[in-house]
Amino acid sequence: MSNLVNYTNVININQVLQFLNDKSPLVKGATADLLFDMKAGTEYYKALLPLLKDEKRAVRVKAFYALSAV
């Protein structure tokens, strides 16, 4: 996912944000990482907030990390 940062001019942020609602904790965590790498967490922090209450600890940690730039 970190390689996707090189393609920020072609990434549709709305499609990326939809992955935050995926059933898979791996997908949600990777999406949070991508938002952090894109430095989009400051703009889209409201989309990340629900992940702080996710049942999986790994997702909560990734969300916290993505929000650390806010």
pLDDT over 70 at 7, yes or no = no
Alpha helices, DSSP H, located in the chain: 13-18, 25-37, 45-48, 57-67
Task: Give the range of the structural domain holding residue 38, as residue numbers without chain letter.
Answer: 2-67
Question: Cβ(34)–Cβ(62) under 8 Å?
Answer: no
pLDDT averaged over every residue in the chain:
87
* Total of domains in the chain: 1
Residue 23 sits in a domain whose CATH number is 1.25.10
- In terms of pTM, does the model score above 0.85? no
- Phi and psi angles of residue 38, each rounded to the nearest 5 degrees, phi first: -80, -5
Angle at 39 between CA 23 and CA 17, to 5 degrees: 25
